[in-house]
Amino acid sequence: MAKKEFKSESKRLLDLMINSIYTNKDIFLRELISNASDALDKLYYRSLTDKKVKVKKEKLEILLAFDKEKRTITISDSGCGMTKEELEENLGTIAKSGSLSFKENMTKKEKIDIIGQFGVGFYSAFMVSDKITVTSKSIDSEDAYVWESEGADGYTIKKAKKEDHGTEIVLALKEDTEEFSYSKYLEEYELKSLVKKYSDYIAFPIKMECVHHELVDEKEKKYEDKKEIETLNSMVPIWKKNQKDVSEEDYNNFYMDKFNDYDKPLMVIPSSVEGMITYKSLLFIPSHAPYDYYTQEYEKGLSLYTSGVMIMEKCSDLLPDYFSFVKGVVDSEDLSLNISREILQESHNLKLIAKNIESKIRKTLEEMLKNDREKYISFFKTFGVQLKYGVYNNYGQDKDKLKDLILFYSAKEEKLITLSEYVKNMKKDQEQIYYAAGASIEKIHSLPQVEQVREKDYDILYLTDYVDEFAITAISEYENHKFTNVENGELDLESDEEKEATKKANEDNSDLLKAMQEEIKEVSEVRFSNKLKSHPVCLTSKGDVSIEMQKVFDAMPNEMGIKAQTVLEINEKHAISEKLKKLYKKDKEEFIKYTKILYSEAKMIAGLPIDNPTEISQLICDVISK
Ligand code: ADP
């Protein structure tokens, strides 16, 4: 039978894996045991919901065996098994995302990041084996199949014989090298301690035939080796254990195994709730975003158990969208075992648990922000966008829960601060909370409009994420202070005299300004202003849609045509004003050129595209070559 090739990206990943970039090879065992446990979970759940599937709970187990002569380890389970198609689909593709970027000469960290993007899983077994043989019989099939592979150059699938449903995986261990003794996995003691270390909490028994040195004759002090099947794991789920009996390392190992992460979590949140509703939960905040987090494919949810039996792998109703990054397990006896998923959604108890969980996560984050700023900043840099998104999503219904958890860059402090910190440090005469939006801190910092506010010694929040301004708009005010975009036309920071002078300049030159606006119809107004200090021009906006918001709308796939109402402001004190006035009187043609150039300058500073760059470039050359 011809060998089938792995899909090309899978092949490269497999190469990385086989060449064993992970220093910790031991984890292959926990990965395979974890898969076996999932298969048992699936089977048991099926038996509760599908009358045709009958299983005896005592038969749900994982068997571990080793053979020193043949140099093999065998992991078998009596779970749901895989059909031929499933073997092909599940073990023929590693990288389901299909968009991993490989580079030549990757550093070790880059390699680990790539592998980390999809979790190590089944393929980690290639770190220790030359050949892997998987024999499986699905509960949905009469036939069994065997999948076999010696690594990156492909695999075969053939029909096989197997009595019962389930999966048996045989690993042919690599030969020992100078650096590593693969033979250690052929020691009873080693396997026992690996199970204890990584898989103790698995809810099904992991059994192995162990040899006991038994005293058979007291007088003669005679010992005999006796074989006995032993259960290696305590089977107490980690979330059911007393918190003080579980080490940080245990929690971290559980997290990395269960949620396929190569990094330990940023935060572990265990809790045990009794009262109106009784449940135990173990939640984690990852230290980095999963590779698919900001894509459509990402599914939020917590694993839901009732009395230690998993009834749903990702129960999305347990998490609000703004905490979708949280991973974890919830176990409650107050949920019925054979409840259908549809009914579960409507369950009052489930809603109660979800509410508790939301507030637990929120409190944990609030405390982190208060007590461990550095950690919170690291969290916020990874998942802050999600919180800000939560502020404005659903018409801002959750904004009050989240507004104290979001941070923005402060121009004055030069770091991320909370809204409450901003308000605390406001100047005596300051009424409003100022912000400015743009593509980067540097770009915002050099905006002409920012100058005037900074001169007053008012702090400005610099917003660089596309969601920021929408979040700010949804909050609309904080402790009775309104948010004001410095880009907005009517900032009202001038003194009465200044205002008067500007008013006069605009009145005296109303014809000129009108003539300019005739040339650049896109803008709703052209005016002289006092707010600019050194710059000649800037573009501001009127109304609810700012220029930055317009950019976000413009970038959306189905353009909605939402536009900001823009105003071209000209610095009255700048020499260009006099020049314009002169040209308006003497040379209309030149005046129009200047108008177009100045408008393009303002657009450029605002980061807006210039529709007619060739024309503008011509105009500039015309003017400067005079
Ligand atoms: P993951 O477990 O993260 O999905 P793996 O590479 O470890 O990734 O496994 C891929 C898939 O193969 C699993 O999702 C599961 O559907 C299937 N699988 C692996 N081991 C078993 C097993 N022992 N029994 C049934 N299915 C299995």
Q: Give yes or no for residue 116 having a pLDDT over 60.
A: no
Query: What is the pLDDT averaged over residues 474-480?
Result: 94
CA–centroid distance, 572 to ligand 1, in Å, is: 70
CA–centroid distance, 122 to ligand 1, in Å, is: 7
368 assigned to some structural domain = yes
Q: Report yes or no: 260 and 121 within 8 Å, Cβ to Cβ.
A: yes
Q: Provide residues with CB under 6 Å of ligand 1.
A: 31, 35-36, 39, 77, 79-82, 90, 119, 121-122, 167, 260
Query: According to the model, what pLDDT value does residue 8 have?
Result: 64
Smallest CA-to-CA distance from 485 within 536, 438, 416 is with 438
Tell the residue nearest (CA) to atom 11 of ligand 1.
90
Residue type, 166: G
Q: Report yes or no: 286 and 261 within 8 Å, Cβ to Cβ.
A: yes
CA–centroid distance, 32 to ligand 1, in Å, is: 8
The residue from 376, 392, 422 where one domain ends is 376
Alpha-carbon distance of 172 to 33, in angstroms, equals 17
Higher per-residue pLDDT: 21 or 537: 537
Alpha-carbon distance of 35 to 206, in angstroms, equals 13
**H or E element, residue 546:** none
CA–centroid distance, 95 to ligand 1, in Å, is: 13
Alpha-carbon distance of 43 to 63, in angstroms, equals 16
Tell the residue nearest (CA) to atom 8 of ligand 1.
121
Please check whether residues 290 and 207 belong to one and the same domain. no
Tell the residue nearest (CA) to atom 4 of ligand 1.
121
Q: Report yes or no: 604 and 572 within 8 Å, Cβ to Cβ.
A: no
Please check whether residues 259 and 197 belong to one and the same domain. no
CATH number at residue 67: 3.30.565.10
Q: Give yes or no for residue 98 having a pLDDT over 50.
A: no
Mutate to test the pocket of ligand 1, among 10, 38, 204 (most ligand atoms within 8 A of CB): 38
- Mean pLDDT (the chain, rounded): 88
CA–centroid distance, 418 to ligand 1, in Å, is: 44
Q: Report yes or no: 524 and 542 within 8 Å, Cβ to Cβ.
A: yes
CA–centroid distance, 35 to ligand 1, in Å, is: 5
Percent of the chain with pLDDT over 90: 59
Contacts of 205 (CB under 8 A, 6+ apart): 61, 62, 231, 233, 235
C-beta atoms surrounding 128 within 10 Å: 23
Range of weakest confidence among 438-442, 493-497, 504-508 = 493-497
Q: Give yes or no for residue 99 having a pLDDT over 60.
A: no
C-beta atoms surrounding 243 within 10 Å: 12
Tell the residue nearest (CA) to atom 9 of ligand 1.
122
533 assigned to some structural domain = no
First to last CA, the chain: 81
DSSP conformation class of 2: P
Tell the residue nearest (CA) to atom 13 of ligand 1.
90
CATH number at residue 254: 3.30.230.80
The residue from 208, 231, 254 where one domain ends is 231
Q: Report yes or no: 267 and 364 within 8 Å, Cβ to Cβ.
A: yes
Contacts of 43 (CB under 8 A, 6+ apart): 53, 55, 60, 78, 79, 80, 139, 165
Q: Give yes or no for residue 523 having a pLDDT over 50.
A: yes
Tell the residue nearest (CA) to atom 21 of ligand 1.
35
Q: Give yes or no for residue 261 having a pLDDT over 90.
A: no
Cross-strand bridge partners of residue 565: 542
DSSP conformation class of 231: E
Percent of the chain with pLDDT over 70: 90
Cross-strand bridge partners of residue 215: 223
pLDDT tens per residue, range 402-431: 999 999 999 999 999 999 999 999 999 999
Pull the structure tokens for residue 380.
Answer: 């916020």
What phi, psi does 534 have (nearest 5°)? Answer: -110, -25
Alpha-carbon distance of 177 to 150, in angstroms, equals 18
Mutate to test the pocket of ligand 1, among 122, 140, 199 (most ligand atoms within 8 A of CB): 122
Please check whether residues 178 and 30 belong to one and the same domain. yes
Query: According to the model, what pLDDT value does residue 129 have?
Result: 93
What phi, psi does 568 have (nearest 5°)? Answer: -90, 115
C-alpha 552, offset from chain centre: 21
CA–centroid distance, 270 to ligand 1, in Å, is: 27
Question: What domain count does the chain have?
Answer: 2
Higher per-residue pLDDT: 503 or 3: 503
Query: What is the pLDDT averaged over residues 597-616?
Result: 92
Query: What is the pLDDT averaged over residues 195-223?
Result: 88
C-beta atoms surrounding 96 within 10 Å: 13
Alpha-carbon distance of 398 to 406, in angstroms, equals 13
Please check whether residues 275 and 126 belong to one and the same domain. no
Tell the residue nearest (CA) to atom 3 of ligand 1.
121
391 assigned to some structural domain = no
Tell the residue nearest (CA) to atom 17 of ligand 1.
90
Please check whether residues 210 and 244 belong to one and the same domain. no
Query: According to the model, what pLDDT value does residue 306 have?
Result: 80
Q: Give yes or no for residue 344 having a pLDDT over 80.
A: no
For residue 89, the SS3 value is helix
CA–centroid distance, 80 to ligand 1, in Å, is: 11
Q: Give yes or no for residue 23 having a pLDDT over 50.
A: yes
Please check whether residues 90 and 119 belong to one and the same domain. yes
210 assigned to some structural domain = yes
Please check whether residues 39 and 155 belong to one and the same domain. yes
* Nearest ligand 1 atom to alpha carbon 121: 7
Smallest CA-to-CA distance from 39 within 169, 195, 143 is with 169
Torsion-angle region of 474 (φ positive above 0: left; ψ -120 to 50: alpha; else: beta): alpha
Range of weakest confidence among 418-432, 514-528, 532-546, 596-610 = 532-546
Tell the residue nearest (CA) to atom 20 of ligand 1.
35
Higher per-residue pLDDT: 228 or 13: 228
CA–centroid distance, 40 to ligand 1, in Å, is: 11
282 assigned to some structural domain = yes
* Nearest ligand 1 atom to alpha carbon 80: 25
Please check whether residues 276 and 204 belong to one and the same domain. no
Please check whether residues 111 and 226 belong to one and the same domain. yes
493 assigned to some structural domain = no
Distances (CA, A) of 457 to 19, 81, 333, 436: 58, 68, 58, 15
Pull the structure tokens for residue 540.
Answer: 């501001």
412 assigned to some structural domain = no
Alpha-carbon distance of 528 to 536, in angstroms, equals 10
Please check whether residues 212 and 109 belong to one and the same domain. yes
Residue 447's pLDDT band, with cuts at 50, 70 and 90, is confident
* Nearest ligand 1 atom to alpha carbon 169: 23
Query: According to the model, what pLDDT value does residue 407 have?
Result: 98
Query: According to the model, what pLDDT value does residue 273 have?
Result: 94
Contacts of 401 (CB under 8 A, 6+ apart): 362
Smallest CA-to-CA distance from 576 within 608, 607, 568 is with 568
Range of weakest confidence among 236-240, 402-406, 593-597 = 236-240
Please check whether residues 285 and 152 belong to one and the same domain. no
CA–centroid distance, 4 to ligand 1, in Å, is: 19
Q: Report yes or no: 400 and 393 within 8 Å, Cβ to Cβ.
A: no
Smallest CA-to-CA distance from 582 within 501, 512, 515 is with 512
For residue 409, the SS3 value is strand
Tell the residue nearest (CA) to atom 12 of ligand 1.
90
The residue from 376, 410, 425 where one domain ends is 376
Please check whether residues 154 and 279 belong to one and the same domain. no
Pull the structure tokens for residue 370.
Answer: 């208060």
* Nearest ligand 1 atom to alpha carbon 42: 25
CA–centroid distance, 267 to ligand 1, in Å, is: 27
Tell the residue nearest (CA) to atom 18 of ligand 1.
35
Alpha-carbon distance of 532 to 538, in angstroms, equals 8
For residue 347, the SS3 value is coil
Segments forming the whole domain that contains residue 16: 10-231
CA–centroid distance, 366 to ligand 1, in Å, is: 37
Query: According to the model, what pLDDT value does residue 117 have?
Result: 57
C-alpha angle 206-132-15 in degrees, rounded to nearest 5: 120
Tell the residue nearest (CA) to atom 23 of ligand 1.
36
CA–centroid distance, 11 to ligand 1, in Å, is: 18
